[in-house]
Amino acid sequence: MIATIIPDVRNHYPVLLSEIISIITPQYGGTFIDCTFGQGGYTKKILNFPATKVIALDRDSESYKKAQELQNSFEDRLLFKNIKFSQLNNLKLKDENIKAVIFDLGYSLNQIKDPKKGLSFDTVGELNMKMGMNDFSAKEAINQLDEKELTKIFKYFGDELDSKRIAHNIVEDRSKREITTEELVRIIESSKRKRNYKTHSATKVFQALRIFVNKEISELIYGLINAAKVVKKDGVIAVVTFHSLEDKIVKYFFKSLSENKSVSRHMPKTEEKLNLFKSVIKKPIIPSDKEIRENPPSRSAKLRYVIKKEDFFDFETDILNKFKHLIDIENLSKKL
């Protein structure tokens, strides 16, 4: 879940940029947190407005090079931290008036094409898929987890219809040889009952492995919870998602805290309960036809946002229970 998929590593195309800017209004100044710095598309646009400051985060250490370039231009208005966005609450923000927290949950093409990361089914060699600060790789998951565990990962994180068949064939093959990227693609292609000519046969399994290796479910959930804590009253949380599982989590978090009363633990029980968020839109914002023509991978992007109504830190949310079954699947990694 690191920044947007882009069609050319030489030209960065931050998805739904104009829509994001119109929502967070940096023309009026303020401090903004870019949780997925990536190639710096959102951050640079925000810093082009005077009286703005950006705290940029990215778990991928490669992003630091791009951050250094921007720091040379914007000096003390950009602070970069090489951390996961789930660690938002560890930032020292006491004196910061956080106006907006932004997440872009896609991958950039330079990350997808980086052979060291091994994110793509076009990669040759060892399975990896680590985006930074990981405890294990896809190689360990594929070669060590059992058939039932692999089936769960492919089914729930990738919505793969042939998950059981693929997992069975992986376990069969790895008894003879270590599974590499090319070998995994071959197994998937030979396991599929029906061929989809619009998307590659390995797409869903590779998506599932990326989510599992980078613990993207719990990362997103804790990122949202901590974003809701640090953003100030009337501030915005904006999230761009690229697949249905991410969107489902964001939609539930925003909707539940907009419609259900949530109260600070430090407030007297006799005090009136309050809604944490104001939901401005019911349906997500999607890219225009023009943007999709210029940047085809943006077609799957969905932007949702909420405004924080009340300025309190602690609140009640059942999101961890709601998606416990997915977190339990992530926790299969404890075996590795």
Torsion of CA 203, 204, 206, 209, to 10 degrees: 170
Euclidean distance between CA atoms 205 and 26, whole angstroms: 39
Would you call 96 exposed, middle or buried from its count of C-beta atoms within 10 A (0-12, 13-18, 19+)? Answer: middle
Locus of tokens 């029980």: 269
The residue among 126, 121, 110 whose CA lies nearest residue 9 is: 110
68 annotated as a binding-site residue? no
Measured over the CA atoms of residue 78, residue 79, residue 80 and residue 85, the dihedral's sign is: negative
List 239's β-bridge partners, or say none: 103, 304
41 annotated as a binding-site residue? yes
Locus of tokens 């090079």: 65
8 A C-beta contact, residue 31 and residue 46: no
Locus of tokens 């914007």: 74
Contacts 24+ apart (CB under 8 A), 177-185: 178/139, 178/143, 179/127, 179/139, 179/142, 179/143, 180/125, 180/126, 180/127, 181/118, 181/121, 181/123, 181/124, 181/125, 181/126, 181/127, 182/124, 182/125, 184/121, 184/127, 184/142, 185/121
Euclidean distance between CA atoms 196 and 203, whole angstroms: 10
8 A C-beta contact, residue 215 and residue 85: no
42 annotated as a binding-site residue? yes
Output DSSP code: residue 44: H
Q: Which two tokens stand for residue 231?
A: 């953003």
71 annotated as a binding-site residue? no
111 annotated as a binding-site residue? yes
The full DSSP string for 249-260 is HHHHHHHHHHHS
40 annotated as a binding-site residue? yes
Q: Is 29 left (phi over 0), alpha (psi -120 to 50) or beta?
A: left
Binding residues for S-adenosyl-L-methionine: 40-42, 58, 85, 104, 111
Binding residues: 40-42, 58, 85, 104, 111
